[in-house]
Structure 1
Amino acid sequence: MFGSAFGSANKGASAYATLGVETGVGFASPHRLIVMLFDGALAQISTGLNEMRNGNVAAKGRAISRAVTIVGEGLRASLNKDVGGEIAQSLDALYLYIEGRMLQGNLHNEPEHLLEAQRLLTELRDAWLQIDPDKAQAAAPAPASPAARMAAQSYA
């Protein structure tokens, strides 16, 4: 009875998570915002895979749709194609490919497509983390991988 006056515990946790994300976005550097987009997409893919295994079609579809939106309206939209040139164009094409793989995986219940998208996004996230400007200022920078240098140019 008392709990019903305040909603479910899940709603409270959801509101807290939303507040945490909004607060994180408000204080995040541009570099960190990209990491948050990668993390969000990867989390949604994982949720989609779990829901696929559990046979929960609606929840699977919602999670994968969120991942597609994060990649399309977040990562792809963040690319600066004027400054990033060919690298930004290549990343744009890769993100479009990843979106397609997720959509196919969702439509046909094929986890291998989602796993491929997850692997590609993880590799891009790892490269992006190598070029963190905040860490570079705090310590002597280690040489970034060629993928990390290309990624930095594409978002500039």
Structure 2
Amino acid sequence: MTYDAYQSYQAVNLKAQTTQASPVQLVLVLMDGLLDELARARAHIEGRRYELKAASLEKCVSIINGMSSALDMEAGGEVVQNLARLYDYCAERLYRAGAELKVEIIDEVVQLLAEIRTGWQGIHDRHGAVRG
């Protein structure tokens, strides 16, 4: 499969996943994409592909900022405020990982985001695919 064909497949797959998705399902799709992109960013640092590393980390920070801006700060209370702070922390750490070229920082962020994803998955599992 060529890279262009793979990209086309990914775009169709993403559209299929998001068309009828609940808000929680959308977060899970974003988290999965974010974790995949973090793996690419890590590989770019290891492979000394610094321009690609910068593009990957920029994409990651954009996804994190998008998820953070979608939080309902008024309705979510302290839990949502803490989640927003954690998203901000992850974005800041990714900037540092890019500047210092340290995969260990990316690993830290991956671990944090994987835990957050587990929480979102738990919400999905408890409430099913109810659209919000």
TM-score (norm 1): 0.77
Q: How does 1:4-153 map to 2 (within 5 A)?
A: 9-73=2-66, 75-132=67-124, 133-134=127-128
Structure of greater Rg = 1
Structure having greater relative contact order (Cα 8 Å, sep ≥ 6): 2
**Paired residue total:** 129
Moved >3 Å (runs of 4+): none
Worse-superposed segment, 55-64 or 126-135: 126-135
1:117-149: CA deviations, max 9, x gaps?
1110000101111121117x9xxxxxxxxxxxx
C-alpha RMSD of the superposition: 1.8
Q: What are structure 2's unaligned runs of at least 5 residues?
A: none
**Structure 1 unaligned blocks of 5 or more:** 1-7, 138-155
- 1:147 corresponds to: none
Identity of aligned residues (%): 23
CA distance in 1, matches of 2:120, 2:102: 28
* Residue equivalent to 1:150: none
